[in-house]
Amino acid sequence: MEKSNPRLKRVFLEVVENQLEANDPPETRETLKRLTSEGVSEDNARIYIAQAVCMEVYHALKHKQEFNLPRYLKNLKRLPEEPGE
C-alpha cells in the first residue's frame, strides 16, 4: 500500500486555498459550500477539492496539455465522488 506524500497534499491544499481567496474559479467556493451543506466537514471538503486539482494536474502533465478548466469544473460537480476522466 502506498503512503500519501504530505508535501504534495500541502501543495494541493494550498492551490485550493489560493482558488478560494481569489474566488477563481468561483465554482471552487461554491463546491466548498455545497459539500459542507451536505454534511461534509470543511477540512474533508477541501481535501475532496484538492483531489480534483490533483487529477487535473496529473492529466495536464501526463498528456502535456494545459489545465483543462471545463474538465476540472465537471469534476468539482461530481464531488464527493472521486474525480473522473
pLDDT on residue 85: 66
Quick one: pLDDT band at residue 3, thresholds 50, 70, 90? confident
Place of cell 451536505: 38
pLDDT on residue 5: 87
Nearest to 83 by CA among 55, 64, 63, 59: 55
Residue 29 has pLDDT above 50, yes or no: yes
The pTM score is: 0.91
Alpha helices in the chain (DSSP H): 6-22, 26-37, 42-62, 69-78
pLDDT on residue 60: 94
Q: Contact 48/35 with Cβ under 8 angstroms?
A: yes
Quick one: pLDDT band at residue 4, thresholds 50, 70, 90? confident
Domain boundaries, the chain: 6-78
pLDDT on residue 83: 78
pLDDT on residue 2: 56
What angle is formed at CA 23 by the lines to CA 63 and CA 34, rounded to 5 degrees?
A: 90
